[in-house]
């Protein structure tokens, strides 16, 4: 349906979208005919505008206001009119310098990425850390605490750590724990955490007729430590920047936005969805299938290392976002983070 637009219509649509992105206000025919040198009178522009409105690409808040792009209009703009320029090496260098990951733990890296993303884009930054279950097992350690409590520590190939305190049989000695961990380290090496989980469960099933008390203990402990993990940690940075945007200027809008950003559930959904595809993805407004993010767009990309730990990051802004500026930032940041993660294992 898209390319039925004449060149003139496209030019005008582009002009309207861009003016609207810059001003956040309805764009009138006069303004278009003056600011852009189409050599067309306002009246002609109006005719085209009426057509675009019929197609559902524009709409007007009321009779005597200008036009604003609909979500469909933005969609079209992004699909066919937007030219995303690459960052030049200077900008890339600057971006690289913004991030200081030196000697940071994974969590801190994620938080830092969110902060910078938000700072550069002037919108809200989102980062979803790699799920632990999608990483590759490297080592398990047990630390005896007091009163039969045992701290179980899983380490992934990438150096991610997951730990949990488990109530264990008091009779377990340090020697036994060491034996257990040796056994498991041999047994589980090379599996993904997901596989580790199923394998442990299987063996626990088989061993049900507890021939080997200790082995059973071992499996139980290790299993418990992988239970009910809060996966999908999402970091949200710069929510307050969104409140500066005119589309969130009324108390009601502010409340709703903050509530949505705070609950994080929806964000996890979207970032999860984004992981299904590759490269930069854009979700526009209620296209994202949830009213709570009405008026928002989301630009995401994924990062990963060669061992499969996958996370995603992005920027959430008003639909009227400066896509040409934010897209390259998100894109390059994702690459940057990937490279950092890879450097950490390889």
Partner DNA sequence: TGTTAGCACTCTCTCTGGATGAGTGCTAAT
Partner DNA sequence: ATTAGCACTCATCCAGAGAGAGTGCTAACA
The verdict on 105 binding a second copy (CB under 8 A) reads: yes
User: Cα separation of 26 and 45, whole Å?
Assistant: 15
Q: Which is nearer to DNA, 54 or 228 (CB)?
A: 54
Sheet holding 149-156, edge to edge: 137-144, 149-156, 161-167
The 3-state DSSP class for residue 140 equals strand
If binding is defined by CB under 7 A, does position 66 make contact with DNA?
A: yes
Q: Which two tokens stand for residue 53?
A: 């409105």
CB of residue 248 to a second copy, shortest distance in Å: 9
Pick 14 or 53: Cβ nearer DNA: 53
Longest CA–CA span in the chain (Å) reads 90
Q: Distance between CA 79 and CA 74 in Å, rounded?
A: 8
Under the criterion CB under 7 A, does residue 187 sit at the interface with DNA?
no
Q: Is residue 294 a contact point for a second copy (CB under 8 A)?
A: no
3-state secondary structure (DSSP) of residue 196: helix
- For residue 42, the minimal CB distance to DNA (Å) is 6
Q: For a second copy, give the closer residue by CB, 141 or 331.
A: 141
* Contact in structure between 101 and 112 (CB atoms under 8 Å): yes
Stretch that binds a second copy, among 60-68, 150-158, 276-284, 325-333 (CB under 8 A): 150-158
User: How many positions of this chain bind a second copy (CB under 8 A)?
Assistant: 42
CB-based contact 49:12 (threshold 8 Å): yes
Among 18, 67, 311, 327, binds DNA (CB under 7 A): 67
Query: Which own/partner pairs from 83-92 qualify as long-range (CB within 8 Å, at least 24 positions apart)?
Result: 83/324, 84/323, 84/324, 84/327, 84/328, 85/324, 85/328, 86/328, 87/328, 87/329, 87/332, 92/332
Q: Looking only at residues 107 through 136 of this chain, which bind a second copy when binding is defined by CB under 8 A?
A: 108
* Residue 239 near a second copy by CB under 8 A: yes
Q: By CB under 7 A, is residue 63 in contact with DNA?
A: yes
Burial class of residue 179, CB neighbours in 10 A (0-12, 13-18, 19+)? middle
Supply the minimum distance, in Å, between the C-beta of residue 61 and a second copy: 20
CB of 254 to a second copy, least distance (A): 5
Applying CB under 8 A, among 145, 210, 277, 291 the residue interacting with a second copy is 145
Which of a second copy, DNA, none does 22 bind, CB closer than 5 to 8 A by kind? none
DSSP 50-115: HHHHHTTSEE-SSTTS-BEE-HHHHHHIIIII---PPPPHHHHHHHHHH---TT--HHHHHHHHHH
Nearest CB to DNA, comparing residues 66 and 328:
66
Nearer to a second copy among residue 212 and residue 262 (C-beta): 262
24 near a second copy, rule: CB under 8 A: no
Place of tokens 């239970």: 227
The DSSP code for 132 is G
**94 touching a second copy, by CB under 8 A:** no
Distance CA 294, CA 239 (A): 16
Q: Contact letters (x/-) for DNA, 21-60, by CB under 7 A?
A: -----x-xxxx-------xxxxxx-xx-xx--x------x
Q: Which is nearer to DNA, 28 or 328 (CB)?
A: 28
CA-nearest of 101, 97, 131 to 113 is 101
User: Minimal CA–CA distance to 225: which of 175, 173, 181?
Assistant: 181
CB of 36 to a second copy, least distance (A): 33
Q: Are 99 and 336 within 8 A, CB to CB?
A: yes
Query: Could you list the residues that contact DNA (CB under 7 A)?
Result: 26, 28-31, 39-44, 46-47, 49-50, 53, 60-67
Query: Could you list the residues that contact a second copy (CB under 8 A)?
Result: 103, 105, 108, 138-139, 141, 143, 145-147, 149, 151, 153, 155, 157-159, 161, 163-166, 224, 227-228, 230, 238-240, 243-244, 249-251, 254-255, 258-259, 262, 344-346
């Amino acid at each position: 349906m898209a390319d039925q637009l004449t060149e003139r219509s496209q030019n005008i649509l582009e002009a309207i979208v861009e003016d609207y992105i810059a001003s956040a206000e309805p764009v009138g025919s006069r303004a278009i005919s003056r600011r852009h040198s189409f050599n067309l009178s306002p009246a002609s522009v109006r005719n085209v505008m009426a057509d675009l409105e019929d197609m559902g690409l524009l709409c007007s808040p009321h009779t005597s206001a200008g036009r604003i792009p609909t979500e469909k209009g933005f969609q079209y703009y992004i699909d066919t009119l937007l030219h995303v320029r690459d960052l030049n090496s200077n900008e890339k260098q600057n971006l690289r310098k913004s991030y200081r990951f030196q000697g940071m733990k994974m969590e801190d890296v994620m938080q830092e990425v969110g902060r910078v993303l938000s700072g550069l884009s002037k919108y809200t930054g989102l980062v979803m850390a790699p799920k632990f279950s999608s990483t590759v097992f490297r080592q398990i350690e047990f630390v005896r605490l007091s009163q039969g409590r045992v701290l179980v520590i899983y380490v992934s190939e990438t150096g991610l750590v997951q730990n949990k305190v488990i109530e264990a049989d008091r009779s377990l000695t340090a020697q036994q724990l060491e034996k257990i961990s040796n056994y498991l380290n041999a047994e589980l090496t090379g599996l993904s955490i997901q596989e580790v989980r199923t394998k442990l469960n299987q063996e626990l099933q088989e061993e049900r007729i507890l021939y080997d008390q200790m082995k059973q203990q071992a499996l139980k402990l290790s299993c418990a430590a992988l239970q009910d993990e809060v996966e999908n940690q999402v970091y949200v940075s710069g929510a307050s920047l969104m409140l500066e945007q005119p589309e969130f200027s009324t108390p009601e809008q502010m409340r709703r936005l903050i509530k949505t950003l705070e609950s994080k559930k929806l964000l996890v959904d979207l970032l999860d969805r984004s992981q299904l595809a590759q490269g930069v993805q854009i979700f526009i407004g209620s296209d994202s299938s949830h009213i709570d993010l009405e008026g928002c767009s989301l630009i995401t990309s994924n990062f990963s290392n060669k061992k499969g730990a996958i996370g995603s990051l992005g920027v959430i802004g008003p639909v009227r976002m400066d896509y040409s500026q934010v897209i390259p930032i998100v894109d390059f940041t994702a690459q940057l983070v990937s490279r950092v993660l890879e450097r950490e294992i390889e």
